[in-house]
Every structure is written in C-alpha cells, then in structure tokens.
Amino acid sequence: MSFKSLVSAVTIVIVGYYWMTYVKRGPVYESDKKLNGKTVLITGGNAGIGKATAMDLAKRGARVVIASRNLKKSNKVKDEIIKESGNHEIRTMQVDLSDYDSVRQFAKEFDESEKYLDYFVNNAGIVLDGMTKYGMNRLYVVDYFGPFLLTNLLLDKMKKQSAERPVRIINLTSEGYKFAEVYESSMRKDPQGWFEIFFVYWETNLVNIQFIYNLNKELKDYDITTYSVNPGTLIHTEAVEELDFNTKVLMFIPQLLIMRDVYYGYQTSLYTLLDDSVTAHSGGFFTGCSHEKLWPHATNESAWELLKKKSLEVTGLSSI
C-alpha cells in the first residue's frame, strides 16, 4: 500500500468514527432516578419519540398516561410497556388535538380522574397538510393551538398541586424555529408541497417556544417549570416512515447521513424531565442534553403579546 492510500484510509476511518459517534448518535442522559408515585401525561405516547419516552418513564416506576387519537394503537403499546417494564400503572386516553371539543372533554376527564399531574409532556406533533373545521390548517392546530388549549385547561390542577409537588411541562419542538417568523396568514392557508409545509411547521415550532418561554414567566409564583426540547434534527420514527414517496426520495441522502435512532431522540426529553440542574433555565430551549440560549426573535415581548391575544381568541379562553 502506498503512503498516500494509507493516509486516505486512516482519514476515512477517523472521519467515519466521529461521524458515527457525533452525527448519527447523540448525547445519552444517564440517571437512575425513580419516579414511583409520580404521574406523567404524554401526548403522542403511542409512537416514535413519545413511545420511547413512555417506556423509559414506566421503567422508572411512574404512572404513565398516554393520550392520542388512536386508542387501539395506544392499547397495543400499553401492553408492550407493561410487558417490558413490569409496571401496570399505564393508562391510555383518547384525544384529538385538532378538535377543541375533544381537547376540552379530555382535560375534564383527566382532571376528574387523575389525582396528580407531575410531568406533562407535549409530544404529539405532525408535519402534514390539510385543514381543520376551524378554517385553520391542521399543522397550526395540532402543533400549537390544540396543545395551547390543553395546557391551559390543565393549569389549574398543576397550580393547585404545585404547593406540595413540583410540576414540569416539557414541549417538543425543533431547531427550525431559528428560520421562522410568525405570519397570521399561514394559520389560515393550506400549505402546498414540502417546502411550504416545512416553513409552517417551523413557524409552529417558534410559537411553541414563545409560549413555553412566556408561560414560565406567567407561572413564576408557582413551582411549575417549562422546557422546550429539540429531540434532534432527524429522528427515525413513524413520522419518517409515513412520508410520501417523493419526500422519501428527497430525504434519502439526509436520512443516510444524519438520521438518528429513536433512542437518541428522547434523551433530551429525559434530561429536562429528570435532571436537577435544568430548573435554572426554566422556559428555555434544550438540545443535545443541554441548555441553549434562545435566539432573540423567540423572546420578543411584543410578539408574545400579539400571539397571546391571538391564541386566547382562537381557543376561546379568557386568560392564561
């Protein structure tokens, strides 16, 4: 072997090693913290990152309530979790976040039947087109207004219990917020093509981050902390499996190069749920199992005042 090809081979091995370690994998959060006696509500807990999170928390002894549209799918996952964790405190409930009546019904039922809510994981999310009966696109309703309503409806319960038991609210979002700006018009249009869909999706990431950041301020008198979580740029979940053919072709190379296993996709959720140090950055943005300072457009106060007014108006609430 010539010296040159030896150098190339060594370079490929080194770059390959770092790629596999830092790009295809991410930081892993290690903790033996137990959650016996704690109740976790997790939306979208029957698939992808939510399911992996639910399984982990069940193994730590928590009571886990999985909420999503498809009860059959949730019950199958419930059986799987019970079998693997040996924890029988798993409950499934139905909610459709694209339907405010369903969200109200769910919140009432949860409030009446569950004693505590210690950890609330807003995880359900979609990247799709289509409209809801409210004349708004599904992305905006499922990825923002529905969970905004749900969070607010459960706040009284969380406020009451926070005197004796602290509460954490975790919200999954993505780094895409960095490229987003909020346009009221995008709430009402049906995005066409993946380019538009992604821009609207990123917009919903931004409004969620604004909400979580300001919710923390609104709740400063209570022992309730809030966290926005980026699971990673591209995580292998059902969401990726369900893409249409053209998008799949488009995503082939990025998938090969950067897509991470779902195991790495729930580590930052876990970090914000369990770590003691994160409360110092309540309201903030977390990625790769650490806190990252928010870009200024996400913490703009007058933008939040506008968004808050809009969100209350859309969901029919009078205040946060």
Ligand X SMILES: *[C@@H]1O[C@H](CO)[C@@H](O)[C@H](O)[C@H]1NC(C)=O
Ligand Y SMILES: NC(=O)c1ccc[n+]([C@@H]2O[C@H](COP(=O)([O-])OP(=O)(O)OC[C@H]3O[C@@H](n4cnc5c(N)ncnc54)[C@H](OP(=O)(O)O)[C@@H]3O)[C@@H](O)[C@H]2O)c1
Q: Is the dihedral of CA 230, 235, 239, 245 positive or negative?
A: positive
Q: Is 231 one of the binding residues for ligand Y (CB under 6 A)?
A: yes
Question: Among residue numbers 259 through 298, which ones bind ligand Y (CB under 6 A)?
Answer: none
Helix-strand-coil split of the chain, %, nearest 5: 55, 15, 30
Specify whether the CB–CB gap between 194 and 134 falls below 8 A. no
Min dist. Cβ of residue 163 to ligand Y (A): 30
Considering the candidates 116, 140, 201, 213, report the single residue annotated as catalytic: 201
Min dist. Cβ of residue 313 to ligand X (A): 15
Task: Give the one residue of 151, 162, 216, 269 binding ligand X; rule: CB under 6 A.
Answer: 151
Specify whether the CB–CB gap between 87 and 66 falls below 8 A. no
* Residue span binding ligand Y (CB under 6 A) among the ranges 154-162, 179-187, 237-245, 287-295: 237-245
Q: Which one of ligand Y, ligand X, none is in contact with 144 (Cβ closer than 5 to 8 A by kind)?
A: ligand X
Q: Which one of ligand X, ligand Y, none is in contact with 70 (Cβ closer than 5 to 8 A by kind)?
A: ligand Y
Q: Which one of ligand X, ligand Y, none is in contact with 297 (Cβ closer than 5 to 8 A by kind)?
A: ligand X
CA distance 191 to 204: 13
Q: Is 41 one of the binding residues for ligand Y (CB under 6 A)?
A: no
Report the Cα–Cα distance between both ends of the chain, in Å, rounded.
70
3-state secondary structure 249-262: HHHHHHHHHHCECH
Task: Give the one residue of 39, 43, 161, 282 binding ligand Y; rule: CB under 6 A.
Answer: 43
Specify whether the CB–CB gap between 303 and 214 falls below 8 A. no
Residues near ligand X (CB under 6 A) are 122-125, 143-144, 147-148, 151, 171-173, 208, 211, 297, 300, 302-303, 306
Active site residues: 201
